[in-house]
A and B are shown apart, each in its own frame.
Chain A
Amino acid sequence: MELHCLSIHQLAAELAKGQVSSCQATEHLFERIERHDPVIHGYLELQQDAAIAQADRIDKRRNDGETLGPLAGVPLAIKDNICVSHGRTTCASKILGNFQSPYDAHVIEALNAADAVILGKTNLDEFAMGASTENSGFGLTRNPWNPETVPGGSSGGSAAVVAADLAYAALGSDTGGSIRQPAAFCSVVGLKPTYGRVSRYGLVAFGSSLDQIGPIAKTVPDAALLLAAIASHDRRDSTSAELEVGDYLAEIERPVKPLRIGVASEYFGPGLDKEIAQAVRRALDLYESLGAEIVELSMPLNKYALAVYYIVATAEASSNLARYDGVRYGYRDRDSKDHIDMYSASRAHGFGAEVKRRIMLGTYTLSAGYYDAYYLKALKVRTLIKQDFDKAFEQVDCIAGPVTPTPPFKLGEKIDDPLTLYLSDVYTVMANLTGLPAISIPCGFSSAGLPIGLQLTTKAFSEELLLRIARMFEQATDYHQRKPKLQS
């Protein structure tokens, strides 16, 4: 197999055997990036010198017989809303176009401690707001499976570079599906951990009660490996859980038995693409053939999740994004006469349309007279949705369903219709509202050859179980091994 096609586990084995050096792997990827990324545009910034220097350091330490971290010498990509003290952190926003973080996010410290190599920063919808990566302030990203379609979003850059073998894996962030939906669109594995499992310190906040960093990888064991590296308690994040991190890899190959998988009939409503419905049904059949019991669930509150999500996420975002004012960092309008005008002009020019729209929506629902009707109401329905899931998990170990209502859509198709685009998140937002862990794994392709994902959700802090269940399907199928034909 070609060097860039290897999984992290395979690459690590080759590195350990001395068949290949980290420098070689890293340089090889940069060559590939140079060839293919002009079309895909998954990366916003490459950190070639730093990456090769780090790969070289790891190679030397390996030659010296030193004990190395679990991701030693593995080249990875980072979504550009995660702060790295090297280079720029832009969130794909013009308002942060030249921002250089003075600190590393917790997950970056963790990757450094694991001896990983960071290739660069990947594209996203501005401030992670979107489902297509078309809302980037610095150009859109194309889906490696079909460059006329979107890679999903907001972690579209991360998913695309992993799918195109331009990185061995990547970090993304997920507020309403931003890891899982692009993973599904690009036929890679995307995991949103339980809220609190991975520190948010250094993740540029969008919806603080929903955001979570997670891995995007080629295989389930790779996702497990990456999660193990970044998950831990962090005092700098009060919402980070003080729970021990499980050994996600120890029993990942051992099938879960007995296994009860719940399926909500509401998931298969009229909004769902037929081919996706079929692919998900086939996946459930496969689980059944592997010994799982499929349990029909009714989760009638699911249809309200999207409304709750868009109220909560935008309210929090309107506050989180208030700090971009051109005073301490970021873009500043130079023609303003007073500070109020300077704020309003800087934000008008610095933010893109979708970000403005969401700030406006969040400002509105928090403003006097509307708080109770929208925001407070949403928080109450959030409680009901959580209770729904708690009840479901009394009956089943796992809930399965589609990740997206449609396969990857065409570039520009939904850009002018925000509400339709918001509906892309209809299956993914529940995990964020409830904080539950959820994974997207490849489960097929449409007749047009576009990827389809399967979503699995388990109880809070049960990533070990979730990964094992996902691995059962992966072992029994070869969707994850298929590669897109790249244009250059």
Chain B
Amino acid sequence: MGYRPTIGLEIHVELSTASKMFCGCPNHFGDPPNSNVCPVCLGMPGVLPTMNRQAYEYAVLMGLALNCRIATFTKWDRKGYYYPDLPKNYQISQYDLPLSSNGYIDLLVNGQTKRIGITRAHLEEDAGKNVHDLPGCTGVDLNRAGVPLLEIVSEPDMNSVPEVMAYARSMRQLVRYLNISQANMQQGHMRFEPNISLWVFDDAEPDGGHYTPIVEVKNLNSFRSLERTVAFEIDRQAGQWQADPDGYRMDKMSKQNRGWDDVREVTVYQRHKEEADEYRYFPEPDLLPVEIDDAWLGRIKAQLPELPIARYARFRKEFGLDEKLTTLLTSERGTADYFEAVVQAGASPHRAANLIQSQGLRLANERGTDVAGLGISAERLAGLCKLADEDKVSATTAAGIFQAMLESDDPPEKIAQDRNLMQVSDTSALEAIVAEVLSENGKAVADYKSGGKKAKKARSFILGQVMQRSKGQANPKVAGELIDRKVLGQT
């Protein structure tokens, strides 16, 4: 007997519009409680919602990126449930006519492509926040109430923790590529709800088997908790099934809701509320339907950038970069754009990739920005790359110059000159230094000449002395050749 995890994921993504979904309040995180609110998002008597065009177009863009069918006609529905953070006690959402459906996303998992089906993606309004750590009461902050929220529902096509994580990370990468969400986990821009069950089968008859009861875990707001939840549930369900192979089956038990306990790192059973599924959906009478024609859809389509997976493949092919470096460079659209601009400006792809990876990403990370946000134009970085490509500066020096460029607007060449970092490749200037070093280190010269065990070490020592005396400016390749010639008489 064996089992295969079967996992679907629901993801909620807050869209980064300027204003909320149905009113003009700022869509902004971190402001004092109840300061980004108006009569509409407070659910005051008499108010009416109005649709945010940008939010709709963002949602359609995502639908296109997920290869979905975009509905030419959609409407809005009210989903009724009572909760303090839901001001109208109904949520404006899309029920039977989501704006996009039947799509897919391709993931790279361990070098393999895996296709995950997208059931639907629809737009709705976010709820506010209940704050539970106040003395004696729960506080309600409605700043987030009405923020546009994209709900993306996958097919249960994932079969392992790595696949779930690849899917979740790809979604974050995608919304960032599309520039429709900051997808900042700390600010709650992305929330996950996995549905997990196991397909239990007999190895002899892999087609005949059964599912364990589906477990849905709500409201996970970090990759870490998603990863641990899914891993925990797979183990837990496997244990349950082993303990009770005939009873722990989907056809004998109903779906279960569980919550993730972040402290104990376990999922805990949540009582299924009797009314949980009684949402009393009906068409929202305060809003009109949306009809999208080819021209409008075309305009949105034109905004689609090259998507991460396509860009990855192109970078590998076009620039001959390895997997790791390509993954890094294509992880964010800004990095990939920057890299391409540097190459466009004349840098060799490998040099540019290495400098961006070793210096750019590290420095950007330290400064809390992205590579393009460091303030070094692609042209200037290409200039630095060329200096290194032409052996005018060493790789180590280039790294130093990269840092110096953060503080100075000078061209990289000038920085190198001002700081005496240009390599000395001029043999006449080096010859004097080499002669000096050789005359002062007779033993090492002898060791080198002897060609014995110590020769290699002796040569390194001599070169080190030359480098030191040149204050590091000697081109080590040229200096080495000079030494060889002088000592061994080679040319």
Chain A interface residues (CB < 8 Å from chain B): 81-83, 89, 91, 96, 99, 101-103, 105, 200-205, 207-209, 235-239, 315-316, 318-319, 322-323, 325, 327-329, 339-340, 343, 363, 366-368, 371, 375
Contacts and interface: CB of A to CB of B under 8 A. Distances in A.
Given A238-B51, A327-B140, A322 B288 contact: no
Contacts of B89: 322-323, 325
Contact of B88 (A209, A323, A340): A323
A328 B42 contact: yes
B156 interface: no
22 contacts: A81-B46, A83-B45, A83-B46, A89-B46, A200-B48, A204-B46, A205-B46, A208-B286, A237-B48, A238-B288, A239-B285, A319-B78, A319-B80, A322-B90, A323-B43, A323-B45, A325-B84, A325-B89, A327-B87, A328-B142, A340-B82, A367-B278
Lowest 8 A-B CB distances belong to which pairs? A322-B89, A208-B285, A209-B285, A366-B280, A204-B45, A202-B46, A323-B43, A83-B46
A339 B282 contact: no
Contact of B90 (A203, A235, A239, A319): A319
Interface in B274-313: 277-278, 280-282, 285-288
Contact of A325 (B80, B82, B142): B82
Contacts of B80: 319, 322, 366
Contacts of A238: 48-51, 286-288
Given A205-B46, A325-B89, 16 more contacts: A81-B46, A82-B46, A83-B45, A99-B45, A101-B39, A205-B286, A208-B286, A238-B286, A239-B285, A323-B87, A328-B142, A340-B82, A366-B80, A366-B282, A367-B278, A367-B280
B406 interface: no
Contact of B44 (A91, A207, A322, A329): A329
Nearest to A329: B44
A103 B44 contact: yes
Contact of B48 (A236, A322, A366): A236
B138 interface: yes
Q: Of residues B43, B138, B278, B282, which shows the largest number of chain A Cβ atoms within 10 Å of its Cβ?
A: B282
A205 B84 CA distance: 21
B47 interface: yes
A202 B45 CA distance: 7
Residue in A81, A208, A239, A327 whose Cβ sees the most chain B Cβ within 10 Å = A327
B45 A101 contact: yes
B82 A322 contact: yes
Contacts of B44: 83, 101-103, 328-329
Give the interface size class of chain B.
20 to 34
Given A367-B280, A375-B282, A201 B140 contact: no
B43 A339 contact: no
Nearest to A208: B285
A238 B288 CA distance: 7
Contacts of B49: 238
Contacts of A325: 82, 84, 89
Interface string B363-400: 00000000000000000000000000000000000000
Interface in B1-60: 39, 42-51
**Residue of B87, B138, B142, B286 ringed by the most chain A CB atoms within 10 A:** B286
Interface in B80-98: 80, 82, 84, 87-90
A89 B46 CA distance: 10
**Which of B48, B50, B277, B281 has the largest number of chain A CB atoms within 10 A?**
B48
A319 B280 contact: yes
Given A83-B46, A101-B44, A328-B42, A339 B138 contact: yes
Q: Which of B89, B140, B285 has the most CB of A within 10 A?
A: B285
Interface string B107-150: 00000000000000000000000000000001010100000000
Q: Chain A's interface: helix, strand, loop or mixed, by majority?
A: loop
Contact of A236 (B50, B277, B282): B50
Contacts of B48: 200-201, 236-239
A200 B288 CA distance: 14
B273 to A, nearest CB: 10
Contact of A315 (B50, B282, B286, B288): B282
Nearest to A315: B282
A270 B84 CA distance: 50
Contacts, number: 98
A238 B289 CA distance: 10
Nearest to B49: A238
B282 A105 contact: no
A316 B285 contact: yes
Contacts of A239: 48, 285-286, 288
Contacts of A202: 46-47
A371 B87 CA distance: 24
A340 B273 CA distance: 12
A325 B42 CA distance: 12
A240 to B, nearest CB: 9
Given A339-B84, A340-B82, A366-B280, A101 B46 contact: yes
B286 A91 contact: no
Contacts of B282: 315-316, 319, 366, 371, 375
Given A208-B286, A209-B285, A323-B89, A343 B82 contact: yes
A368 B278 CA distance: 6
B63 to A, nearest CB: 22
B94 to A, nearest CB: 16
Contacts of B281: 366
Contacts of A327: 84, 87, 140
Contacts of B46: 81-83, 89, 101, 105, 200-205
A343 B281 CA distance: 21
B46, B80, B89, B285 pick with most chain A CB within 10 angstroms: B46
Contacts of A102: 39, 44
Contacts of A322: 80, 82, 88-90
Contacts of B42: 328
Contacts of B285: 207-209, 239, 316
A364 to B, nearest CB: 10
B418 to A, nearest CB: 60
Contacts of B140: 327-328
B396 to A, nearest CB: 62
Nearest to A327: B84
Contacts of A105: 46
A105 B46 CA distance: 8
B443 to A, nearest CB: 87
A180 B87 CA distance: 33
Contacts of B50: 235-236, 238
B87 to A, nearest CB: 6
Nearest to B286: A208
Most chain B CB neighbours (cut-off 10 Å) among A202, A238, A239, A318: A238
B438 to A, nearest CB: 86
B170 to A, nearest CB: 36
Nearest to B22: A238
A371 B277 CA distance: 14
A348 B282 CA distance: 24
B33 to A, nearest CB: 13
A363 B280 contact: yes
A91 B90 contact: no
Nearest to A342: B84
A205 B285 CA distance: 11
Nearest to B79: A319
B45 A201 contact: no
A84 to B, nearest CB: 10
A203 B286 CA distance: 12
Nearest to B40: A236
Contacts of A203: 46
A236 B23 CA distance: 9
B39 A103 contact: yes
Interface string B142-174: 100000000000000000000000000000000
